[in-house]
Amino acid sequence: MLKKKSLGQNFLNSPKIVSDIVEAGNVGSSETVLEIGPGEGVMTEKLLETGAHVICIEKDDRLIPELHKRFLKEISGKQLELIHADVLDTGITHIIKVKYKVVANIPYYITGQIIRMFLECDNQPEKMTLLVQKEVAERAVARDGKESLLSLSIKIFGDPKLVRVVGRGAFTPQPNVDSAVLSIEKISKERLEGVDEKLFFKIIHAGFAHKRKQLLPNLASIYKKEDLISAFEKCGIDLKARAEDVELNGWVKLCKNFYGS
């Protein structure tokens, strides 16, 4: 079947990589796992072998009959639930009421939206194991020691880890970029305790608005300069710091400081 570029269809052709991703997902036989974009079902098959209850969401209507045929037994035995939908339209909280993990080779064109949707929703997964573009995984874990909007948006909910790099040759058709397995563990809203979620995202977005500017002038778009100077001193943040130099803890302190002001 001709792959649809518009749906990010780069299918895995390496059984070893598929096994490694499923292993990194650490799915137990009594657990529920959600796969976004099963494609032709290479990873679905491995996920089913763990004995877990598998829920798949696939957007491409051409793939649905194929998946039904391939997994007839598992679908009738209710080990596999196949949902034909756009993952971004599903309203995860309505689909899954139990604890679950996400394991997926996701379509790269909606990586940010998928991560945000699952981390911010009411029924967050316990863990996400995702194949993403290598640069995205590196940014998510702040590999160069520099925080980013992405790394902070993940770290406020969980611990990102770069599990392994996956070369472009592991996909058909071969993409122009390398990939990496990104896992986000210990997902919860605990770190947001005492922190207003909307304010946290407002502050980090303002902080990263102009890359070349230091953090203080960036935040001057939402707070008075004198209030910022005293907040930075109280939170132990260098007045000349750039947004990328401030770790999660510093942002959380800033947020608590400005809450209600």
Distance CA 114, CA 56 (A): 14
Nearer to ligand SAM, 89 or 226 (CB): 89
Q: Is the dihedral of CA 74, 77, 83, 87 positive or negative?
A: negative
Give the count of residues interacting with ligand SAM (CB under 6 A): 22
Nearer to ligand SAM, 88 or 248 (CB): 88
Distance CA 102, CA 54 (A): 10
Residues contacting 53, CB < 8 A, separation 6+: 31, 32, 33, 79, 81
Q: Assess 87 for contact with ligand SAM (CB under 6 A).
A: yes
Shortest Cβ 35–ligand SAM spacing (Å):
7
- Return the residue of 9, 151, 218, 257 that touches ligand SAM, per CB under 6 A: 9
- Looking at 8-16, 72-80, 177-185, 243-251, which segment touches ligand SAM (CB under 6 A)? 8-16
Q: Is the dihedral of CA 119, 87, 203, 129 positive or negative?
A: positive
- Return the residue of 11, 112, 201, 220 that touches ligand SAM, per CB under 6 A: 11
Question: Tokens 């949902």 — which residue?
Answer: 83
Report phi then psi at 90, rounded to 5: -80, -30
Q: Assess 58 for contact with ligand SAM (CB under 6 A).
A: yes
- Looking at 84-92, 144-152, 228-236, 252-260, which segment touches ligand SAM (CB under 6 A)? 84-92
Distance CA 68, CA 210 (A): 49
- Return the residue of 64, 75, 88, 149 that touches ligand SAM, per CB under 6 A: 88
Q: Assess 60 for contact with ligand SAM (CB under 6 A).
A: yes
* Per-residue tokens: 1: 């079947």
Q: Assess 155 for contact with ligand SAM (CB under 6 A).
A: no
- Return the residue of 5, 69, 86, 144 that touches ligand SAM, per CB under 6 A: 86
Give one word for 211, left, alpha or beta, with left for phi > 0 and alpha for psi -120 to 50: alpha
Q: Which of 158, 134, 129 is nearest to 47 (CA)?
A: 129
Q: Assess 10 for contact with ligand SAM (CB under 6 A).
A: yes
Residues 38-57 that bind ligand SAM (CB under 6 A): 38-39, 42-43, 57
Q: Assess 144 for contact with ligand SAM (CB under 6 A).
A: no
In the complex, residue closest to ligand SAM by CB: 37
Nearer to ligand SAM, 9 or 32 (CB): 9
Crossing angle for the helix pair 197-207 and 248-258, nearest 10 degrees?
A: 120
| Contact footprint for ligand SAM (CB under 6 A) | 7-12, 36-39, 42-43, 57-60, 86-88, 105, 107, 110
